[in-house]
């Protein structure tokens, strides 16, 4: 006699009536073991009761109602490919036109990059021009802010001092603004605490 009891999945095989290579030893064990036979009989009664239940057809929108509550997470590559598919035109002539436009843009960008690569002096000039214009714009904007906050005479004095003086004044104004914001927050928190 085998001292090991049948596992739940082995009893399920017997209840389902499966016939296979490993089922014969399970049936032999079932005829010898009272505990396993009792579990088998209980499970067979439940299975027969479930089989005798009437079959109902679900409502028409049953699956839609359930799927609205299910969150499906798509992998990033699937979402990306779906987004790209939406951008590709469906008709063949439009697809051909879009491909030609993309090819023309790729050739133009690649040609421009190659031309700039061989013209390093031009690229350096453009970068320096961009940096100078950006610096001039920042200084001019800061001068206007200083003129509005301190007056036009102070702004001309700051402009004469140059960028270091402007940086110091900007830092002082920034610290004053941050201090004012923190003071207003503290005042609002105190007022809210007094109301409660």
Mean pLDDT of 123-149: 80
Between CA 146 and CA 165 the distance in angstroms is 11
Locate 55 and state its tokens: 């079959």
pLDDT in tens, 34-73: 899 999 999 999 988 988 888 888 888 888 888 888 888 8
* Overall pTM > 0.95: no
Contact 142, 148 (CB under 8 A): no
Q: Is the pLDDT of residue 88 over 60?
A: yes
Distance CA 153, CA 131 (A): 28
- Please answer whether residues 143 and 166 qualify as being in contact, where contact means their C-beta atoms are separated by less than 8 angstroms: yes
| Cβ 143 vs Cβ 155: under 8 Å | yes
- Please give the share of the chain, as a percent, with pLDDT higher than 70: 87
Tell me what percent of the residues of the chain surpass a pLDDT of 90.
8
pLDDT tens digits along 148-183? 766 777 666 666 665 566 677 677 778 888 988 998
Across residues 93-98, what is the average pLDDT?
89
Give pLDDT, residue 2.
47
Computed from CA positions of residues 55, 57, 62, 63, in that sequence, does the dihedral angle turn out positive or negative? Answer: positive
* Helical ranges in 1-61 per DSSP H: 8-16, 23-32, 34-52
Domain boundaries in the chain? 8-52, 118-196
Q: Which two tokens stand for residue 182?
A: 């923190």
């Amino acid at each position: 006699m085998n001292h090991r009891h049948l596992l739940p999945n082995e009893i399920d095989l017997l209840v389902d009536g499966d016939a296979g290579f490993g089922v014969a030893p399970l049936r032999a064990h079932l005829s010898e073991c009272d505990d396993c036979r009792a579990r088998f009989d209980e499970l067979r009664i439940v299975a027969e009761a479930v089989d005798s239940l009437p079959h109902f057809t679900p409502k028409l929108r049953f699956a839609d109602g359930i799927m609205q509550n299910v969150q499906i997470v798509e992998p990033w590559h699937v979402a990306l490919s779906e987004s790209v598919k939406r951008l590709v035109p469906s008709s063949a002539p439009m697809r051909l036109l879009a491909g030609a436009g993309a090819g023309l843009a790729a050739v133009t960008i690649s040609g421009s990059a190659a031309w700039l690569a061989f013209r390093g002096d031009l690229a350096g000039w453009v970068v320096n021009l961009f940096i100078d214009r950006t610096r001039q714009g920042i200084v001019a904007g800061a001068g206007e802010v200083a003129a509005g906050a301190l007056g036009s005479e102070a702004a001309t004095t700051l402009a004469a001092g140059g960028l270091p003086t402007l940086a110091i004044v900007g830092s002082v104004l920034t610290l004053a603004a941050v201090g004012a914001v923190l003071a207003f927050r503290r005042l609002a928190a105190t007022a809210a605490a007094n109301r409660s």
